[in-house]
């Protein structure tokens, strides 16, 4: 494997549609829950330990070869908001396109055939990592980091926040990100024997509720 | 602009000229340009001019609303199922150039759902003079500026003005009111673009979108040849 492939996959400019999504930040900004660097950090911490942990474990499990259909159903079960399920599938489809063009192979082609409208993004992320020759821990890092980097860059645009404040928040979360990745990979390894029910099911109810409200706005900058 | 390679697998991954079933996909023409230059009005006029002879669809890329798509729906230039809005996260230039995945999905879904299509117009939200479409998304692109935006825009150049397959200078009827010198704009455009075509149009005049429609027909003829 080439560890450097992780940099390609984790690059914020990897063309897989993420730029149009705020990871719940737009709804949280409107609700007054994110107003600056400190509250952005709090928001990201919450997202990391809930949606981030779940995404990281799904991605790691996909690298370890768990059944894609079961993982996709597990992601559905862990995503109460229909708007977030739709966004996750849309992003999964976009990521699959980019991954197939970047690391062509039969496994990704088969997933595209089975899920023409997209599988959940973290599951596809794991499969993309696998196609790139990466390991479960790499996919988990990528998913966990995306769970906080997306809201951070969106908040820079939404609040005209000082970009150094946003980047500082991400850097301060790094040690926690390590721990979340450890937990995610451990759970994914358990799921190899015990099935997808061994994967974490942490959830941030405000993220889900906010996503439903956001999807109904007439005017918004981000798709989710 | 003809891309005849094809990719194995269940669906095309990028600009492949063939659809998964082997048929030729629709020609995709992008329209970009500054805010308020008349991109949506030009798209609407093109739809009216071409819809009786061609199977058409439109993808819009708004900055923060669905306004452009809703304008086209309200004007009923095409049936609603032929118009799709892509959300761009406040960055149309990213969605049409750097990360085209949402737009590719939109054009493929349109072909699947209302196809076969001859032509898909992909409209960018208003952006700056450097915003151009990726070759992975469109086969040809139109850059729309207007005389009221300042007659020095052709002189300033930039990737849109300089490299677009067609430059449209819109709202020529306003030139006398805003003090824009059309001859100077034409000379500057010629200097920037050499042999690439330029159309001066006023959608309020009798000729309307005629020249742009003729250019689009020629592009389509070359695509299907």
Report pLDDT digits (tens) over B61-110. Answer: 987 777 888 899 999 899 999 999 998 888 888 999 999 999 999 999 99
Strand runs labelled E in B63-197: 83-87, 119-124, 140-146, 166-170
Contacts of B98 in chain A (CB under 8 A): 13, 15, 19
Please name the helix (run of DSSP H) or strand (run of DSSP E) that holds residue B62, with its range, or none: strand B56-62
Distance from CA of B135 to the nearest CA of A (A): 14
**Furthest-apart CA pair in chain A: how many Å?**
47
User: What is the dihedral angle through the alpha carbons of B93, B97, B102, B106, rounded to the nearest 10 degrees?
Assistant: 100
What ipTM score was computed for the predicted complex, to two decimals?
A: 0.85
The tokens describing B61, both together, are 């890329």
Contacts of B111 in chain A (CB under 8 A): none
For chain A positions 151-180, those within 8 Å of chain B (CB to CB) are 154, 157
Q: Is the pLDDT reported for residue B13 higher than 70?
A: no
Distance in angstroms (rounded) separating the CA atoms of residues A61 and A95: 17
pLDDT at B5: 42
From the first residue on, what is the mean pLDDT of each consecutive set of 10 residues in chain A (224 residues)? 91 93 97 97 98 98 98 98 97 97 96 96 98 98 98 95 96 98 98 98 96 93 93
Beta bridge pairs of residue B56: B119
Task: Please name the fold of domain B27-224.
Answer: Rossmann fold (3.40.50)
Question: At a CB cut-off of 8 Å and minimum separation 6, what does A212 contact?
Answer: A81, A82, A83
State the CATH architecture for A25-215: Orthogonal Bundle (1.10)
Residue A23 sits at the vertex; the CA angle it makes with A116 and A196, to the nearest 5 degrees, is 55
Mind listing the pLDDT tens digit for each residue in B16-42? 788 877 888 999 999 999 999 999 999
Cβ atoms of residues A146 and A17 within 8 Å: no
Nearest residue in A to B7, CA atom: A101
From the list B112, B137, B114, the residue with the least C-alpha distance to B55 is: B114
Residue B37 assigned as binding residue: yes
> Considering chain B, what percentage of its residues have pLDDT values greater than 70?
93
Mind listing the pLDDT tens digit for each residue in A166-186? 999 999 999 999 999 999 999
Q: How confident is the model at residue B203 (pLDDT cuts 50, 70, 90)?
A: very high
pLDDT at A151: 98
Cβ atoms of residues B169 and B188 within 8 Å: no
CB contact under 8 A, B88 and A20: yes
Q: Is the pLDDT reported for residue B4 higher than 80?
A: no
pLDDT at B10: 53
CB contact under 8 A, B95 and A109: no
pLDDT at A57: 98
Q: CA distances (Å), B136 to each of A101, A181, B12, B127, B133, in order?
A: 12, 35, 11, 19, 8
The tokens describing B205, both together, are 């005049």
Going from N- to C-terminal start, the domains of chain B cover 27-224
């Amino acid at each position: 494997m080439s560890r450097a492939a992780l940099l390609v996959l984790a690059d914020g400019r990897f063309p897989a549609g993420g730029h149009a999504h705020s990871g719940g930040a737009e709804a949280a900004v409107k609700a007054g829950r994110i107003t600056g660097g400190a509250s952005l950090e709090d928001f990201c911490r919450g997202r990391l330990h809930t949606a981030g942990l779940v995404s990281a474990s799904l991605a790691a499990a996909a690298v370890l070869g768990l059944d894609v259909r079961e993982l996709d159903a597990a992601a559905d079960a862990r995503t109460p908001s229909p708007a977030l399920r739709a966004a996750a599938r849309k992003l999964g489809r976009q990521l699959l396109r980019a991954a197939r063009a970047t690391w062509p192979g039969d496994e990704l082609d088969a997933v595209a055939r089975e899920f023409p409208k997209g599988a959940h993004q973290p599951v596809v992320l794991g499969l993309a990592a696998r196609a790139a020759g990466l390991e479960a821990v790499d996919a988990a890092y990528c998913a966990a980091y995306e769970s906080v980097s997306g809201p951070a860059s969106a908040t820079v645009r939404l609040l005209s926040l000082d970009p150094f404040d946003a980047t500082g928040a991400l850097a301060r979360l790094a040690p926690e990100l390590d721990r979340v990745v450890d937990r995610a990979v451990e759970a994914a390894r358990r799921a190899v024997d015990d099935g997808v029910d061994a994967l974490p099911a942490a959830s941030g109810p405000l993220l889900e509720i906010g996503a439903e409200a956001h999807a109904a706005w007439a005017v918004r900058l981000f798709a989710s | 602009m003809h891309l005849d390679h094809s990719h194995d697998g269940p669906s095309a991954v990028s600009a492949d000229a063939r659809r998964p079933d082997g048929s030729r996909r629709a020609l995709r023409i992008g329209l970009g340009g500054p805010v308020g230059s008349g991109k949506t009005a030009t798209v609407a006029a093109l739809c009216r001019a071409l819809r009786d002879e061609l199977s058409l669809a439109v993808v819009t890329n708004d900055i923060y609303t669905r306004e452009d798509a809703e304008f086209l729906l309200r004007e009923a230039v095409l049936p609603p199922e032929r118009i799709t809005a892509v959300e761009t996260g406040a960055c149309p230039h990213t969605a049409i150039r750097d990360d085209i995945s949402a737009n590719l999905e939109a054009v493929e879904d349109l072909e699947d759902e209302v196809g076969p299509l001859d032509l898909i117009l992909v409209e960018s939200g208003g952006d700056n003079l450097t915003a151009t479409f990726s070759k992975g998304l469109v086969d040809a692109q139109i850059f729309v500026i207007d005389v009221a935006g300042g007659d020095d825009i052709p002189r300033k150049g930039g990737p849109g003005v300089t490299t677009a397959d067609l430059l449209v200078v819109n709202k020529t009827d306003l030139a006398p009111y805003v003090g824009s010198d059309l001859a100077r704009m034409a000379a500057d455009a010629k200097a920037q673009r050499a042999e690439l075509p330029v159309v001066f149009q006023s959608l309020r005049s009798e000729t309307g979108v005629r020249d742009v429609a003729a250019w689009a027909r020629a592009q389509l003829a070359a695509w299907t040849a």
